[in-house]
Chains A and B, each alone.
Chain A
Amino acid sequence: MLIQTVVTGIAIGGIYALMAVGYSLIFSILNFSNFAYGPIIMLCSFFGYFGLGILKLPFWLVLILSMLVGAFLCCLSEILAYRPLRKRKAKTLYFMISAMGISILLENMVYATVGAHFYNYPQILQGTVKLLAADIGVLDLFAIIFSCIAIGALHFFINHSKPGIAIRAVSYDTVVSQINGININAIVILVFCLAGMMAGIAGMFLGMKYMAYPTMGWITNKAYISAVIGGMGSLPGAVVGAIILGLVESLSSVYISSAIRDVFSFSFLIIMLFIKPSGLFGKTLEEKV
């Protein structure tokens, strides 16, 4: 039972990690919390349902298309909503308001077109495998594997490629990176693309685990908590924060009560903020200034 719960916790944590990494990436460059990220994940989830349930396309193809849809929507939000603000050198608050605006727009667009129904994904990646005398869900295993691959690839890209160095340079000093020849707009688009791809994977797995519905974007609250626990702007932090949160949730659901699961998540956040406001791997403020 314990092993099963821990594996489920890690699987949920893995999905949170994908979202938290997306959040953190954008935060590290533009310094604001992109609240439009949740509804984009929701749209990716609906796209996944559409591809798997209606068009009956193969899983891997839908996953790739969903990542592309996520990247496209994220980039579109950057170009339409954030770039004009960046041009005007607007304050962070305006970015957040703009993000909320997109969030409300996308959510209501889905209400108006698809309706408020819950959509069940077709039965794929079902069943269990025996592992150390515990029954582990195949979906959970896949969620863990895909999260690991996606985050590992992202980590490698950020740390070892030329655009990765540029992303880190821009996140540290936007002005100097431009002087060094880095085109900020190109890097911002790249970052939104990467975040969108993470949203595509997360949306698919969330849909398979919990169904697709218009308000599912709010689950990114958990990603936000993960990112804060790990330290906003830190990718390893986001992953560790997400896994911890996933474990807290699955353990508290099984051993205490699933009804008050979220109470534990939010209490955990509050306690963390008390003990270490900058998060586990957060940058101290002096470093940024």
Chain B
Amino acid sequence: MLKVDNVNVFYGHIHAIRDVSIEAKDSQIVSIVGANGAGKSTLMMTIAGVLKKSSGSISFDGELLPAEPHKILAKGVCLVPERRRLYANLTVRENLLAGAYLRKDKAAIQEDMEEMFSLFPILKQRFKQYAGTLSGGEQQMLAIARGLMSRPKLLMLDEPSLGLAPMLVQQVFDTICNVRDRGTTIFMTEQNASDALAISDYAYVLETGRITLSGSGKEVLENPEVQKAYLGIKQEQS
């Protein structure tokens, strides 16, 4: 479904992503784990078209992805960015409508909105509230719901558990499994490696812009190298 092939990304002179190749298959949960600054968000932003790659190719359903972000969304690839980044000046309803911006099927948009409310009941209560007034957990729910409103084939989640209380983290991961079960492929990055790997069909470890390890979620989770890799990164940072 998603195929990233030998992609390189630069920030000025900094080589942020180095020859990264990854793949996500239909209805899978694929995770990228890695420490701060490893390039996880950069990779996500590149796939979404916000950042430009200097070389390599990104294809989706066998076709190369277009360059502009709005055209990439039209292909069915939607990113829920790190730290939610909701429109605080828009209400919950308007945020959801903004998520469905490219769709013209009014009736189905309404149906999907109802579905989001059954998936995230709290949003129904907050319907007319400004997104900026929601709590962190509610905002994450809204961010995921806003992403789903575009009916993506591939939903990319950048650090969905960031800044959430442990109880909410479990709820978010349950929701992610739920969304996958409905047929949407999930591609996510997480620092919260153990929780993310536990639900992943496949996983990659990203370290200073390179993929250093990959395998099924279980394999990566049980691989002693993962722990070692993390320790290695931590030592490098300090």
B69 touches A178 (CB 8 A): yes
A173 touches B94 (CB 8 A): no
Using Cβ atoms and an 8 Å threshold, which residues of chain A touch B73?
179-181
Of the listed residues A166, A173, A181, the one surrounded by the most CB atoms of chain B closer than 10 A to its CB is A181
B50 touches A180 (CB 8 A): no
Q: Which residue of A lies closest to B93 (CB)?
A: A165
- B53 lies within 8 A of chain A by Cβ: no
Give the contact stretch, choosing among B6-14, B54-62, B95-103, B121-129. Answer: B95-103
B68 touches A178 (CB 8 A): yes
- B133 lies within 8 A of chain A by Cβ: no
B98 touches A178 (CB 8 A): no
- A145 lies within 8 A of chain B by Cβ: no
- A176 lies within 8 A of chain B by Cβ: yes
Least Cβ–Cβ distance between B214 and chain A, in angstroms: 26
- B81 lies within 8 A of chain A by Cβ: yes
- B188 lies within 8 A of chain A by Cβ: no
Q: Which residue of A lies closest to B73 (CB)?
A: A181
A182 touches B98 (CB 8 A): yes
B150 touches A172 (CB 8 A): no
- A169 lies within 8 A of chain B by Cβ: yes
Q: Which of A140-199 contact B (CB under 8 A)?
A: 162, 165-166, 168-169, 171-173, 175-184
Using Cβ atoms and an 8 Å threshold, which residues of chain B touch A283?
89
A169 touches B132 (CB 8 A): no
Identify the 3 closest CB pairs spanning chains A and B, nearest first.
A178-B69, A181-B102, A181-B73
**Given A179-B78, A180-B98, A181-B102; A168-B70 close (CB under 8 Å):** no
- B74 lies within 8 A of chain A by Cβ: yes
Range, interface on chain B: 20 to 34
- B88 lies within 8 A of chain A by Cβ: yes
Which DSSP category, helix, strand, loop or mixed, fits chain A's interface?
Answer: helix
B85 touches A173 (CB 8 A): yes
- B79 lies within 8 A of chain A by Cβ: yes
Of the listed residues B48, B49, B78, B87, the one surrounded by the most CB atoms of chain A closer than 10 A to its CB is B87
Using Cβ atoms and an 8 Å threshold, which residues of chain B touch A166?
98, 101
**Given A178-B50, A178-B70, A181-B73; A162-B90 close (CB under 8 Å):** no
Q: Which residue of A lies closest to B150 (CB)?
A: A181
Using Cβ atoms and an 8 Å threshold, which residues of chain B touch A287?
88-89, 132
- B40 lies within 8 A of chain A by Cβ: no
What are 17 contact pairs spanning A and B, CB under 8 A? Answer: A165-B94, A168-B90, A169-B94, A171-B89, A173-B85, A173-B87, A175-B81, A177-B98, A178-B49, A180-B73, A180-B98, A180-B150, A181-B70, A181-B73, A183-B70, A283-B89, A287-B132
Interface membership of chain B positions 129-168, coded 1 if the CB is closer than 8 angstroms to chain A and 0 otherwise? 0001000000000000010001000000000000000000
Supply 10 further A-B pairs (C-beta < 8 A) apart from A166-B101, A179-B81, A183-B70. A165-B101, A171-B89, A175-B81, A178-B49, A179-B78, A180-B99, A181-B70, A182-B70, A184-B70, A283-B89
